[in-house]
Amino acid sequence: MRAYKDQPEQDEPSPYHPLGHPTGEPLGGQPPHGAQASQADFDYQVKYQRAFEAVLWAMPAVAIYRLRGAAFEDLHMRDNDIIAYSTTAGPGLEAITPNSSTPYIAAYTDLRQGPVVLEVPPAGPDGQLYGQVVDAWQSTIADVGAKGVDQGKGGKYLFTPPGYTGEIPAGHLHISSPNYRVALAFRSIVAPGKTQKDAFDYSHRLRMYPLSQAATPPPQNFVDPVGDRYPTLPFYDERFFYDLNDIVGAEPVRPIDKQMIGALESLGIVRGRPFHPDDTAERAMRQAAIDVWYYLQNYFDHLPAERFYWPDRHYASLMMADDKHTFDYEYDDKIDILGRAAQFMWCTYVPKVLTDNPATQYMMAMADSEGKPLQAGKTYKVNIPARMPVEQFWALTVYDRATFGFIYADPARTTLSSYDLDKMHTNPNGSVTLYVGPTAPAGMESNWIPTAGKRPLPAIRFYGPTAEFDNKTFTMPDFVPVQ
C-alpha cells in the first residue's frame, strides 16, 4: 500500500490493540491535525470555480452565439436573413480575427422551427463562394464551395434539426445538425476579370428559407453592414453567462456536457427556468470571466514550442488543431478544454479537418525576432520577400492583441496585401518592408498599418499556399523592432 505523507511509518506503534480492537483516532476521514479551511465564503468559492471552468468549456459556443446575438440586436436581423458585405470589412466589424481582403457573407437560423434550405449558386466565371456552416458549438457541419459538400456545383443544402425523421426532398444535400441553431460564414471570391461589385452581386444569388415555404420561398432579405458597427466580440464579464444561459436553454444536452450542465445550476443556469443569479453568483461570474481572459492571454504569451510553425521563427498558426487534425479536441480518454478554449478565443469558423495543404494559411506573429512579445506603443517592421509562396495573394492584417479584433485607428487601415504593391515603396530586390506601430516612419505611410497604441497581433495570410510553404522550405522573416 502506498505510504502517504500522514500515514504512520512501519516502525511507529500500531493504532490497533493487541487483541485487534482499534484505539485512538481513525487514519482517515478528516483533514490532517491542525489544518484550517482556506476559504471563509464557500458559497462564493464554489460559484467562482464553476464559473471559471464554465467560461473555458463554453468558449466556442458563446463566441458563435455573439455573432448571432449582435446580428439580431444591432443589425435588427431575423433568422434566414443574409449579411452580404458590399466591400471588405473595416474596424466596425468587431469580430475575432476577421479578414479585410474579401467581403463576408453570414446568416443564422433556428431549426426549432423546422428544416431550412440554403440555395448556393454554382462556382463559375461570375464568382464562387467558400466557407463553413457550423452548429451551436461551432462544430463544422458542412464545408461549402469547391472543396465542400457541393464540390463547387452549388445546390440546395437542407439542414434538419436533431432527431428529424421527415422526408428529405429529392435533389437536396442533406445536413443533419446535432444542434438547433446554425450559423454560416462565406467569402465571395472576386473572379478573374471581375470586381468586388461583381462578387457582391454574386452573393445575392444565395437564398435561405424554411423547407415549409419551399414551394413559394419568401423574398430574400439581405443586410449590408458596411459603415455599421457590428459588435460580435464575447463579453468577459457576467454577460458571458447570460449568453450561456440562452444557449443551454435552447440546445440539446450532449452526454459529454452533463456534468458541466449540472454544475451550472449553482450559478442559476437551469434549463427551463428564468435566469436570476443571486448577488454572490453575479460577483463570481464577473470575476471568473475576467480571470479567464487573463489566463488565456498568458497562455498565448507562453505557447508551447510545438505550436510555432517554423522552429527558428515566432509564428503560430491561427488553426491550432488537436492531435487528430480536427477541432473537437475530443479523445478516447479526455476532452482538451484548454486547447479548445484557446482556439476559439482567437478564431471562429474552422474547417472539419485541417489538411496538410489547406487552402489558406494564417501565421500569427507572437513575438519579435528576439523572442520578445510584441508590445503596445512600439513600431515593428517585417520584410515581405519578393517571391511569396502563394498562388493567389498574401495579406498582412494587424489585430488588437487584447480583443483579437480590428483596431480603430486613423487611417482606418487594417490590412496591406500584394494587391497594394503598386501603391507601396518596394525594395530594389522586389521585396517590401511593412511597418506596424502607432506612427509611420517618415515617407513610409503607404507601407504602414496603424496600431493606435494598442498591443499588436500581426497575421500574415497566405492565400493558396504552395508546396514550398507546406514543406517549410520557405521561411517567413520575423518582425523586428524599429530603433
pLDDT tens across 296-312, in order? Answer: 999 999 999 999 999 99
pLDDT at 359: 86
Cell of 185: 460564414
- What are the pLDDT digits (tens) for 433-475? 999 999 999 999 999 999 999 999 999 999 999 999 999 999 9
Residue 178 backbone class (left: φ over 0; alpha: ψ -120 to 50; beta: rest)? alpha
pLDDT at 2: 57
Question: Which residue stretches of the chain have pLDDT < 70?
Answer: 1-20, 22, 483
Q: Do residues 459 and 374 lie in contact, with contact meaning Cβ atoms separated by under 8 Å?
A: no
Q: Identify residue 295 by its one-letter amino acid code.
A: Y
CATH topology of domain 305-481: Jelly Rolls (2.60.120)
Helix, strand, coil abundance in the chain, percent, nearest 5? 25, 25, 50
Query: Cα separation of 466 and 292, whole Å?
Result: 38
Q: Do residues 388 and 448 lie in contact, with contact meaning Cβ atoms separated by under 8 Å?
A: no
Cell of 278: 443571486
pLDDT at 147: 83
| Stated pTM of the model | 0.93
**In the chain, ranges of CATH 2.60.120.600 domains:** 305-481
How far from the centroid of its chain's Cα atoms is residue 476's Cα? Answer: 24
Beta sheet of 155-160, edge-to-edge order: 172-176, 155-160, 116-120, 207-210
Query: Which burial class, exposed, middle or buried, applies to 365 when counting CB atoms under 10 A from its CB (0-12, 13-18, 19+)?
Result: buried
CATH topology of domain 75-228: Immunoglobulin-like (2.60.40)
Q: Please choose, from the candidates 34, 29, 27, the residue with its C-alpha nearest in 3D space to the C-alpha of residue 6.
A: 27
**In the chain, ranges of CATH 2.60.40.1610 domains:** 75-228
pLDDT at 11: 53
